Structure 1
Amino acid sequence: MNILLHMCCGPCACYPVPKLRSEGHDITGYFFNPNIHPYKEFKHRLTTAQEYAQKVDLKLIVDTNYQLRDFLQRALTIEKNTDGLNLDNRRCRMCYAWRLHQTAIYAKENNFDAFSSTLFVSPYQNHEMMKDVAQKISQAVGIPFFYEDFRPGFAEGTQTSIDLELYRQPYCGCIFSEEERYSNSFKKKRKKKLKALFNEQNNK
């Protein structure tokens, strides 16, 4: 099967690519990640994805458009119109959907047999949400979604990325995940807000 594999970064491809190849599939990487912040991080991850692709002889298609403003507009619209309880889920769903939808469209227009993503290797992503989003996109666009749970190979892929001396990022990618990764005050405020909302709903 000729699969277009969305790549969120180089390290996350270190297990899915050889695994899919071992199953007899032809793989082409597709880098489309408008969520990554800041621009230097975007360039760093793109360069690392290209570095990995070169090392393993992987064809890589790259969308170099830096769409931070579009991403923030979508994310902040969600934040404005949600109660706060499911903010992260809705924001992440939007991010998954945008990237996977673009991948599916490219795959459909360029005669691939299916699309997938290296996001499915990460134990830190919302796996079931991504799967649901991808399946809905598959039906809407009219191209198969190739599903495989790559998480069992996460540790192996991590070691491979270390052996290949690839840059490994310390947060998911967006400005919100960066804040959540480094800001202790943000974590405390968010925990307090969620607790207050939870108590308010229970008292109704």
Structure 2
Amino acid sequence: MRHLCFSPCTFYFSSSTLPSSILIHVCCGPCLLAVVEAVRRMGRAAALFHNPNIHPLLEFRRRLTAVQVAAERAGLELIADGRYGLREFLARTAPWERPARCAACRRMRLAETARQAAERGFEAVTTTLLASAHQDHDAVRQVGQEEAAARGLRFHYEDFRPLAARGHDEARRISLYRQQYCGCIFSEEERFAPTRLHLHRASDRGEP
């Protein structure tokens, strides 16, 4: 497989703190492209796609496919959970509004990442959520550390936000799918409710 590299490459960690193996939770293709070279410096690295928060079904499939394409281009092992998790997500988050809903969502994903990492012999975990300017980094870091510690692992925190633009530029260059909202049906509503996107009169569709 062809390894993806960006030039110039800048990394934001001290080599003395790097784990020898790491499983990275991946939210989307562009974010994986952004951080892949950074995590590859840590030795054995693999990616996990586990995102029951992505809805509706067609959106879930688009993002899963984008992650598969990005991982293949990067030559990175991918563990892909292809189960559509709408019911699981609603059962665990529907009673709450933000920020409690988002906290439960982060924990669902990072708990599974830690479980998979422990079973597969990884030393540490991290997440591409740390490449997003829209995420609460302190909250991601806290839950990541808690779930990793519960499995006897390290959580590698790093501010990947300076790398995000590269990932999106590369995704645009290769025509990789780039999502327009965080993932869940609640975030979809928040993103599109104020807009008039995809609203058409019946006559615009040639209907009487």
Name the amino acid aligned to 2:147: I
- The number of aligned residues is 176
Aligned to 1:135: 145
Runs of 4+ aligned structure 1 residues displaced above 6 Å come to none
Specify the alignment match of 2:25 in structure 1.
6
Aligned residues of 2:114 and 2:125 also touching (Cα < 8 A): yes
CA distance in 2, matches of 1:54, 1:2: 19
Choose the corresponding residue for 2:190, options 169, 175, 180.
180
For 2:44 and 2:172, the matched residues in 1 are separated by 25
Is 1:54 paired with 2:72? yes
Alignment of 1:20 onto 2:30:
no
- Find the residue that maps to 2:129 and give its secondary structure: helix
Would you say 1:44 and 2:62 are equivalent positions?
Answer: yes
Q: Is the 8 A contact 1:17 1:27 kept in 2?
A: no
* Alpha-carbon distance, 1:56 to partner: 1.4
CA offset digits 1:47-92 (Å, max 9, x no partner): 1100111111111011111120110121113x2xxxxxxx311100
Q: TM-score, normalised by structure 2?
A: 0.81
Decide which of 119, 133, 151 is 2:129's aligned counterpart. Answer: 119
- Aligned partner of 2:103 in structure 1 is 93
Partner residue, 1:106: 116
Q: Distance in 2 between matches of 1:3 and 1:140?
A: 16
CA deviation profile, 1:89-119 (whole Å, cap 9, x unmatched): 1100100000000000000011011111111
Unaligned stretches of 5+ residues in structure 1: 80-86, 186-204
TM-score by length of 1: 0.83
Taking the aligned partners of 1:14 and 1:129, their CA distance within structure 2 comes to: 23
Distance 1:141 1:24 in 2: 20
Deviates more, 1:44-53 or 1:133-142: 133-142
Amino acid aligned to 2:56: P
For the aligned residue pairs, the C-alpha RMSD in angstroms reads 1.3
State the AA in 2 paired with 1:101. A
Amino acid at match of 1:103: T
Deviation at 1:24, TM superposition (A): 4.2
Question: What SS does the corresponding residue of 1:14 show, helix, strand or coil?
Answer: helix
